Amino acid sequence: MPTVPSQPVKRGETLNLVRTSLRRLTHHLGRLNDTAGARIDLSPGDIEVLDMIGRDGPMSPRDITSSTGIHPATMTGILDRLERGGWISRTPDPDDRRRLIVEAGSERGREIARLYTPMNQALTQITSNYSDAELATIGEFLKRVADAGSEVNAQMRETRD
């Protein structure tokens, strides 16, 4: 069961806990990605691209560049390296043969999934203590935080002072 404070906590203290916890989460998941990538000789940029394709499905190199903020020339190098390693494939877009579509390689994807098995098991253990309603609230909160982060990042890139 989730830990509930024995005394009322001020909202400011709770918000500080949430902010601090999100920062720690970002840090530790970033380190986890770095460690996992190092085990299979992938850079943080490689992991970011593979995660995006795995999460969002096949997409064009331009869409990946736009979503990640990685410079197009750098993205070309990342995609070349990932394709040589069998991590992705680039095929002509059936709707516009001038465009390419980047897809994850299923066999190598399983290799990455195995590296994250301990974290997924920990997440399963942690979430087993929450009700479906609580998990829905947590999921919605995290989605909204991720969306806000994406939006603020886009605004910052557009308004470089």
- What pLDDT was estimated at residue 9? 72
Q: Which residues lie closer than 8 Å to 161 by C-beta, 6 or more apart? A: none
Are the C-beta atoms of residues 52 and 68 closer than 8 Å to each other? yes
User: Based on C-alpha coordinates, what's the Rg of the chain?
Assistant: 19
- What pLDDT was estimated at residue 56? 93
- What pLDDT was estimated at residue 2? 61
- What pLDDT was estimated at residue 67? 87
- What pLDDT was estimated at residue 1? 56
Q: Where are the domains of the chain?
A: 116-156
- What pLDDT was estimated at residue 144? 98
- What pLDDT was estimated at residue 31? 96
In order along its 161 residues, the chain shows pLDDT tens digits of 566 666 667 988 999 999 999 999 999 999 999 999 999 999 999 999 999 999 999 999 999 998 888 899 999 999 999 999 999 999 999 998 889 999 998 788 888 989 999 999 999 999 999 999 999 999 999 999 999 998 998 888 888 76
Nearest to 67 by CA among 161, 149, 159: 149
- What pLDDT was estimated at residue 3? 64
Torsions phi, psi for 103 (to 5 deg): -125, 150
